[in-house]
Chains A and B, each alone.
Chain A
């Protein structure tokens, strides 16, 4: 059974702080890794994806991948109240197949 694990939270951070969201996956052969943001009552929105070990930065977001440890993380710098949402980690076990999603981590940014 291929699984993606996330801490459900809630993760609470003050405005301006760095939020760190973590994810582990069970299938060592997984190819690419995604972070989605989902606001309450809305569909998921792709934030970024990563497929090579190391860091990938996009604005205030940095994705980190460590395939040896089967670990993916998302850092959000200068967190804003508008970042309050559920963050879904997803793993692509094989190109073209359905992503495997974690249950999501709820982030709350207080002003």
Chain B
């Protein structure tokens, strides 16, 4: 299957700072990327959908000014958590889909801890 990478895999930051997470499709062009959040022992929660060159579409209840998403190229999308707070601590996972394909592949995830 296709490979999606995320960086960093784990990050600890202080409350009030911003954190950027990168998501890259390594062997295909991802026309659409998705960002999810998962709290311990809970199901995946879709945060936003981004298409290359377009503004992201955020799910209801997700603050677009807090979670900035940029999909600048067909292989890279970034999620920036601005002014992070302890309640933003979670497992952030991106996924990507090649435009013509059925499959959606997940990156390995980024575990964010805000102290």
Contact = CB atoms under 8 A, between A and B. Distances in A.
Interface of A: 32, 34, 36, 41-46, 49, 51, 88, 90, 92, 95-99, 101-104
Contact of A34 (B31, B44, B49, B103): B103
Main secondary structure of the interface of A (DSSP, over half): loop
B1 A43 contact: no
Contacts, number: 46
Nearest to A50: B102
B43 A46 contact: no
B114 to A, nearest CB: 18
Contacts of A36: 106
Contacts of A101: 43-44
B57 to A, nearest CB: 9
A106 to B, nearest CB: 10
Contacts of B109: 42-43
28 contacts: A34-B102, A34-B103, A34-B104, A36-B106, A43-B106, A43-B108, A43-B109, A44-B106, A45-B106, A46-B1, A49-B102, A49-B103, A88-B43, A88-B44, A90-B104, A92-B102, A95-B102, A96-B31, A96-B32, A96-B99, A98-B34, A98-B46, A98-B49, A99-B34, A99-B104, A101-B43, A103-B43, A104-B43
Chain B, interface residues (CB within 8 Å), range: 20 to 34
A46 to B, nearest CB: 6
Most buried by A among B1, B99, B105: B105
Contacts of A104: 43
B93 interface: yes
A41 B1 CA distance: 21
A46 B3 CA distance: 11
Nearest to B107: A43
A39 to B, nearest CB: 11
A97 B49 contact: yes
A32 B104 CA distance: 11
Given A98-B49, A101-B44, A46 B103 contact: yes
Given A96-B97, A96-B99, A46 B105 contact: yes
Contact of B102 (A32, A88, A102): A32
